[in-house]
Structure 1
Amino acid sequence: MKIAKTVAVARRSLRATRNAPVVLVPTMGALHHGHAALIRKARQLAGRKGTVVVSIFVNPIQFGPKEDFASYPRPFARDVKVCRESGADLVFAPAPEEMYVEDRSIIVDEGSLSAHLCGASRPGHFRGVCTVVAKLFLIVQPDIAIFGEKDYQQLAILRRMVRDLNFPIEIVGHPTIREADGLATSSRNAYLTPDERAVAPGIQAALQEAAQRKTPVAILNTGLKLISRIPGARVDYLKLVDAETLQDAKSLSRPARLAAAVFLGKARLIDNIAVLPRP
């Protein structure tokens, strides 16, 4: 497995791979078994002769001024070990100055799907995500890119970006990887205290219970009631949205997503589940 820390080295390493699939797994590092599952899926899609590229880059422009960019974990040696053991061929790990020149003036923004959910709570976040992912697509030129469904809004936005900008890339969504007790795996789970970690699976349990209700109003009321019972939990949002447009679901006639962002101590945890149409 190779490690490239500059765009030039990454491109040189990939130059001989054009006749076989290139599969990209973009990450911000602090890799866990959820990321490992994405890399293993990438290995499967790339096949023996293809190339699996994992990017490790804590993207400064997707963090707000009061968010955790400075403290975000960066265990690079451990991340490289996860990549190697999971089947990656190349790790692209640039420094911020390699990705962003000082007088940059071009951004990539999405103006519809990003207006809701995490986009409303984190202004500018998805502008940063779209910009860095577009740059990664241009640097790596993958045939396929894999993203986890835990960040469902991000997945929907990047699918829209690929569609609207005609990137010749297939976006593959991977089901959310969970801990044994149901908590969605996340690098930010490390911020939880033992007491917070013990109650955090209540978020997923609340979504599952609420999704059984028969109307959007009942689903949301039940979800809010159950999450409010989690000690120390503070709801950022709980929304039932159309699975494609991310607009508020007014009925259960189309596939939907029940999505939540909940603060527990220092951690902001997100999760979502599918809500299927009702007869």
Structure 2
Amino acid sequence: MTWAQAIVLGALQGLTEFLPISSSGHLRIASEVMFGEDAGASFTAVTQLGTEAAVLVYFARDIVRIVAAWFRGLFHSDERGLDYRIGWYVIFATIPIGVLGYLFKDEIRTTGRNLWLVATVLILFAGVIWLAERYGRKERSMEQLTLRDGVVMGLAQCLALIPGVSRSGATASAGLFLGLEREAAFRFSFLLAIPAVTASGLFSLPDAFNPSGEGMEATGSQLLVATLVAFVIGFASIAWLLRFVSAHSMNWFGAYRVILGLTVIGLLSAGVISAT
């Protein structure tokens, strides 16, 4: 991997991680279209540490408050308010993706990165977003979040193991189906992603530094810079997205997903790019 490739892919990771358009799908497509090779699942997972660091910084007050309330609530029943419950919601909701991510780690890094699959999923999941926007009541706030909401959104997060789905798109759509307001759905989605994405990135570090098989190989310094770039752009992306979804539909992203998916299918059909 060249320095230019590392910086471009890091910037793309930061730009797309929080939008419901799939950062892993975009990195897979961009690396193939622009550079003729797959950057790899490990590179994607490690650069996601940068975007999760952006979440930690952006939501630092919320995270500190939730963690502190969770620990207090363990020992004092009268301290078990909303923040305490959210702490448990995140823990329970993270279990499904942890189990499935471990069981299917090999398929995620191989079969799951086929561009025919990525393009198809981009288009199909645009339909899920449209249905969520069409039928979601969008009337419940973060204060009305329940354990059922957390578990359902946690199960939806498992779909993000397939490049092209989008972690935020899956969890936020599930939140809308459950009647949550868009901003509440996205806020919990960001909190929910922290343990799963951080664990995935740390788990992938050895493979990223010692890649095997075909594809680009990034040096340690390139991984570091790409992750820092993802952090800076990801931080700005969070701020923009929360403002956008408070007043606009996710269908804008759904339309983009369809256009991108059809474009990739066209390039594959014409033999311009390879699916694997």
TM (norm. structure 1) is 0.26
More helix by share: 2
Query: Which one has more relative contact order, counting CA pairs under 8 Å at least 6 apart?
Result: 2
More strand by share: 1
TM (norm. structure 2) is 0.26
